[in-house]
Chains A and B, each alone.
Chain A
Amino acid sequence: MDAFLLQILNGLDKGSAYALIALGLTLIFGTLGVVNFAHGALFMIGAFCAVTLQKIFNISFETIDATQTDFLGNPLKVKTTYLEHWLGADLGGLIINWSVPLAILFAIPIMICFGFIMERGLIKHFYKRPHADQILVTFGLAIVLQEVVKYFYGANPIPTPAPDALNGVANIGALIGMDIIYPVWRIVYFFFACLIIAGVFAFLQFTTFGMVVRAGMADRETVGLLGINIDRRFTIMFGIAAAVAGLAGVMYTPINSPNYHMGMDFLVLSFVVVVVGGMGSLPGAVLAGFVLGILESFASMEWAINLIPGINQIIIYLVAIIILLVRPRGLMGRKGVMED
């Protein structure tokens, strides 16, 4: 039973990353009708926002501490970060320690701006082009972005730890009288993902802006005919989708140290999640993200591997193939959207 619950937790945790990326991807597809292969790169850029902020916080100067010596007897050089110097060791250290959560605030404006530039500068010209062209140009963009990041940050993964307070493990089974030890940060990630997902849905459901966007998703032309500048709203939605992907990346950094090709690694999976959920369906993307995450963790249990060797590696693709063949629309796809 413990193992069962643990796998569900694992699944929810993996699924929350899938769901967040797929949500952004679906937002872009549902609003602009663009298949964005650069979405993985947006996720990666989000992660590197966290890395950048950590680096900024750690900018330091060296002083020579005469009271201490190193093993050669020379006076020890001590590095002090400017933050600690200005704000005192306690507050400065705390801020440095919490750089990953703080990177959320840093990443949101950057990702939104990035999304605007990308949409206005590139994607805009591809609305009328076939999907294959959109795939190709965004694939090219993904290569460029990842190479730029590689140029500035190098090819090695950069460790970005979570704050000490959230870095350990917790026995979350204690509440229900069981023994389930789980890393705290992953639980934080799960709740964070739920919060973002809820936020996006609330924004679309309960604001006038969201209502217009939903109307535009259903029938862009009619909304345009009513005198609403739907293009501008869709551009904003692109920015929001980029921000969602970026935030997923920021929060993912403590789980996996970011490197420049993490976007490509996630891209294939997130596309699979989107088509399983149904192109253009936001609830479908979230549902499929969690379902596939849970399926993947169950498939990596011992009995499953004994039953079908290698199932843990391929379960997601297998499920995707079956779903695509028996349910052309995906789990919750709308009728008439990319059905062919």
Chain B
Amino acid sequence: MFGLEKRDTTLLLIVAILTLFAPFILNPFPTGSGLAQFNAGYPDLMQRFVIFGIFAIGFNILFGLTGYLSFGHAAFLGVGSYSAVWMFKLLSMNVLPAILLSVIISGLFALVIGYISLRRSGIYFSILTLAFAQMSFSLAYSVLTPITNGETGLQLTLDDPRILGASATADGSIPVTNLFGLEMRSTYQMAVGAWDFQFNIGYYLCALILLAAFYLSIRIFRSPFGMMLRAVKSNQQRMNYTGLNSKPYTLAAFVISGMYAGLAGGLMASMDPLAGAERMQWTASGEVVLMTILGGAGTLIGPVLGAGFIKYFENIFSKINDNVLHGWFSFLPDGLEDFVVFIVHPFIGKGWHLTLGILFMLVVIYLPGGLVEGGQRIHGWIRGNKRGDASQSKTNPAE
């Protein structure tokens, strides 16, 4: 289907089913039950899943295929957000032009930065992208305040021109983002028994775009172009010796992944029309690196899994507090219960980043292929070690 092999079609279908039925899948516990806090089926969080999924898919096209580790991808996301919000301010509240503009602008931005950064490889490339991202971050914070609104962040106001739309709605409030009249924030609630499912237009727009992005990334992975990028990763020097100039290929990969990041930024602004400089900070770039590695760099499904994993646990773990823990371990004797809660306490709530850091280290140390490799290994054990080795998905960056 769609020019894909059977395996890839299955993968695409799985992702399609997962995303389209996410409001059901992520909402397995009845509202009001004790486990309802593990539900992730509310629009805000689901949107974040898919948006960061798109971001990670894009990052994976660069890092997973070419092995170039960029620590500055958040800059493209930030640029995408800013351009989308400007489109809302100047043109109309329709998300389509905003998303298009954010993709184009971040693509151009990536072209410039990539052209310069890709003159070096290995750690120097990482430092160059880091330097560019930090530069954009500091500039967005300080000098570019007329464009970025500095620390406050760029927001919509009532006196924005909005040439094709209205500056303000009839009742004098700021209009909401929409796609040809379909409001992004409008949500259809469906109550089935004790469950309360929410279907959000914005989420479905993001989900469809995610599917398109995922499809495109499968095509890139399977194309001769993708093959060339993998060749760059396995041995760039040999590529050069055969007389091939690998720069156009890596640059194309860089620009594509920058455009993915811009798309994610544009979507983020479409769901919630504001943009701030902190989205561009290098730790934000670090987050997408974490997602991709955790899920499995160089695999198709890995980045999406990683993004979903991190965003889900970030939300859920940070909601667990000591009272919840006491509830869970109440079957233990009193002293032991307190002890267990005391041990677990640093890893939950605000300490979620500690869990993430430890998890990430364990993955890098023992499971370089990420969650995907873990899944393959388990699969292998179940099948009696027939397909146990998952060396296919290992990452070897270009040095």
Contact = CB atoms under 8 A, between A and B. Distances in A.
Interface of A: 35, 122, 125, 130-133, 135-137, 139-144, 147-148, 151, 264, 268, 271-272, 275, 279, 309-310, 313-314, 317-318, 320-321, 324-325, 328, 338, 340
Given A132-B69, A143-B360, A324-B128, A314 B354 contact: no
Contacts of A272: 127, 130-131
Contacts of A143: 353-354, 356-357, 360
7 contacts: A130-B397, A133-B364, A136-B289, A137-B365, A151-B351, A325-B116, A340-B124
B18 interface: no
A141 B365 CA distance: 11
Contact of B67 (A132, A268, A271): A132
Given A137-B365, A140-B360, A143-B360, A314 B135 contact: yes
Interface stretch (B47-55, B137-145, B324-332): B137-145
Given A141-B361, A324-B124, 8 more contacts: A131-B397, A132-B395, A137-B361, A275-B123, A310-B138, A324-B120, A324-B128, A325-B116
B120 A320 contact: no
Contact of A131 (B122, B143, B354, B357): B122
B139 A151 contact: no
Contacts of A314: 135, 138-139
A195 B396 CA distance: 41
B128 to A, nearest CB: 6
B132 A313 contact: no
Given A143-B360, A264-B283, A271-B130, A328 B142 contact: no
B303 interface: no
Contacts, number: 116
A144 B289 contact: no
Given A137-B365, A141-B361, A325-B116, A310 B142 contact: yes
B142 to A, nearest CB: 5
Main secondary structure of the interface of B (DSSP, over half): helix
Contact of B396 (A130, A148, A309, A340): A130
Contact of B135 (A140, A147, A151, A318): A318
Contacts of B120: 324-325, 328, 340
A319 to B, nearest CB: 9
B375 interface: no
B119 A309 contact: no
Contact of A313 (B123, B124, B143, B354): B143
Interface string B351-390: 1011011101100110010000000000000000000000
A167 B229 CA distance: 57
A171 B142 CA distance: 33
Contacts of A131: 122-123, 397, 399
A317 B132 contact: yes
Given A131-B397, A313-B138, A314-B139, A271 B127 contact: yes
A275 B354 contact: no
A40 to B, nearest CB: 12
Contacts of B357: 140-144, 147
B131 A125 contact: no
Contacts of A144: 354, 357-358, 361
B31 interface: no
Contacts of A309: 143
Interface string B55-85: 0000000000001010000000000000000
Contacts of A321: 116, 128, 131-132
